[in-house]
């Protein structure tokens, strides 16, 4: 966790600037976990509301001076650090129980960053103001909008952060979809959806991919070129994978198509061999005084510049 490095300085909001829609929180309320809420379907909502109440108190007069002075910009380093700590927890060789505890803690730290940024958003000027409900609504709308095979072709939204029209009830046999990133290209095609109710034929992978692209283009009409939307600050390897993923999806010449993945029993050996080869190249670069990260980033930028073009259609 990164919080130990923070410094206590000045800041805060006036009492008149308390968050609309939530009652002022007392010290006893913000610091207490209601054991009765730990049972039943309301548990998740109760714990989330408790987190919001704690953040309200930290950003309010009489709260934490360090928390009160933070901005979107000052928190960026912590968001990056906490994300890498989630990766570390996922890849940890610790026993399952300790790995579980580490993952819960680190995912909580990432969630804190989301809540922290959302709380700061409540203090923006009216035209730029947002809160955590806008964030949750936006990602829920996106999930529904990008899965017409699950929720129906005629699901309507009121735009980013808008209300989603009623969708068919979730099926108990469709548990796996939350494991993938819904907000961008994944370097492979979208996973097939569960079979539609009523015996309807399930769309194939190619059709799902086409729908996925169509929905994303409707969401982001300002992205008119092949490589638009790639975060330039990604680490070089991730930047390269993202660029190659987009190139592959849009048929850029010279980029090999996705082949079959290694069998599960072969994956570990294949990844070990690849990692060893990458490390050898990094060692070679270092021995010659070269920056491997910068070299790869430059290669990716050249690849993008040479192959970029308007999106077809």
Find the CATH number of the domain harbouring 20.
1.10.287
3-state SS assignment for residue 164: strand
Confidence (pLDDT) at 202: 64
49 and 147 part of one domain? no
Mean pLDDT over residues 119-138, rounded?
Answer: 97
Taking 60 as the threshold, does the pLDDT of residue 31 lie above it?
no
What tokens were used for 149?
């095979």
Confidence (pLDDT) at 292: 96
Q: Which domain holds residue 71?
A: 3-125
Name the β-bridge partners of 106: none
Residue count of the chain: 313
User: Could you tell me if residue 256 is inside a domain?
Assistant: no
3-state SS assignment for residue 138: helix
Q: What is the DSSP letter of 123?
A: T
55 and 106 part of one domain? yes
From the list 177, 176, 146, the residue with the least C-alpha distance to 164 is 146
pTM: 0.58
Confidence (pLDDT) at 257: 82
Mean pLDDT over residues 264-275, rounded?
Answer: 92
98 and 155 part of one domain? no
209 and 286 part of one domain? no
How many domains in the chain?
3
Q: 18-32, 53-67, 89-103, 221-235: which has the minimum mean pLDDT?
A: 18-32
Confidence (pLDDT) at 122: 98
100 and 13 part of one domain? yes
Confidence (pLDDT) at 199: 53
């Amino acid at each position: 966790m990164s919080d130990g490095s923070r410094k206590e300085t000045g800041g805060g909001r006036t009492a008149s600037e308390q968050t609309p829609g939530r009652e002022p929180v007392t010290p006893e309320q913000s610091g207490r976990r209601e054991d009765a809420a730990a049972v039943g379907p309301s548990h998740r909502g109760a714990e989330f509301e408790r987190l919001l109440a704690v953040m309200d108190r930290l950003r309010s007069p009489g709260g934490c001076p360090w928390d009160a002075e933070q901005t979107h910009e000052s928190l960026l380093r912590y968001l990056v650090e906490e994300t890498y700590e989630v990766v570390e927890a996922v890849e940890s060789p610790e026993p399952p129980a300790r790995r579980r505890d580490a993952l819960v803690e680190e995912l909580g730290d990432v969630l804190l960053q989301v809540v922290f940024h959302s709380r700061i958003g409540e203090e923006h000027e009216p035209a730029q103001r947002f809160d955590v409900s806008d964030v949750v609504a936006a990602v829920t709308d996106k999930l529904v909008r990008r899965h017409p095979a699950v929720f129906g072709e005629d699901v309507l939204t009121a735009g980013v952060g808008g209300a989603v029209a009623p969708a068919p009830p979730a099926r108990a046999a469709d548990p796996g979809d939350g494991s993938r990133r819904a907000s961008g290209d994944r370097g492979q095609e979208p996973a097939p959806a569960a079979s539609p109710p009523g015996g309807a034929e399930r769309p194939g992978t190619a059709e799902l991919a086409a729908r996925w692209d169509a929905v994303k283009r409707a969401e982001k009409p300002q992205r008119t070129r092949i490589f638009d939307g790639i975060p330039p600050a990604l680490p070089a390897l991730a930047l390269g994978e993202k660029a190659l993923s987009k190139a592959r999806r849009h048929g850029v010449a010279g980029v090999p198509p996705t082949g079959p993945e290694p069998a599960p029993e072969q994956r570990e050996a294949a990844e070990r061999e690849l990692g060893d080869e990458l490390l050898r190249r990094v060692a070679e670069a270092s021995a010659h005084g070269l920056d491997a990260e910068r070299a790869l980033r430059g290669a990716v930028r050249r690849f993008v510049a040479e192959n970029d073009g308007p999106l077809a259609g």
